Amino acid sequence: PLLSPHAASGGAPPGSSGAQAGTGGLAGTGNAGLQEFTPEVTRARISEFLHRHTAYELIPESGKVVVLDTSLPVQQAFHALFEQGLPSAPLWDSERLEFVGIISSSDFMNILHRIRSRPVSNEELEKLTISKWRVEAAIESGEVGGARRLVSVRPEDSLHTVAHSLLQC
């Protein structure tokens, strides 16, 4: 469906016949429908939407998930994601027995940037594990206590709860 301010307010665009599909055939009302787009009304509609829908609705019906162990060398992780055509993967720490984060294409770009700014030998690069890189990245960014914790929610949580959890990080 086409969403526009005119369709959302139930009116047709100015200068039209008012009998467009999706508007219920109502005649254009000029600026009368714009009253519904105040910040308060918009906030209320967004809040209603976030409370009404769940995280489960965001999960694709099918797809691949590749989980990478943090002890895996960064080079192997890159090749694994590339070969699977995936932009990111959850990270499993086999020592702590928990998911600790996600590695994504932007992480690989940061690794390449770091290598260019501070040359690393091939041997060092082959030994650079995801875990070691995460610790080094946390130190460089000034994060106390290492890398940030992974935020998770349940599928039945509302999108409002999801947004709130992300904002508390």
Residue 30: its pLDDT value, please?
Answer: 52
Sheet holding 88-93, edge to edge: 68-69, 88-93, 98-104
Average pLDDT over every residue of 132-141: 84
Per-residue pLDDT of 59-88, as tens digits, reads 888 788 899 999 999 999 999 999 999 999
Residue 131: its pLDDT value, please?
Answer: 92
Residue 144: its pLDDT value, please?
Answer: 62
Per-residue pLDDT of 139-153, as tens digits, reads 877 776 656 677 889
Query: What's the pTM?
Result: 0.62
25-34, 98-107, 146-155: lowest mean pLDDT where? 25-34
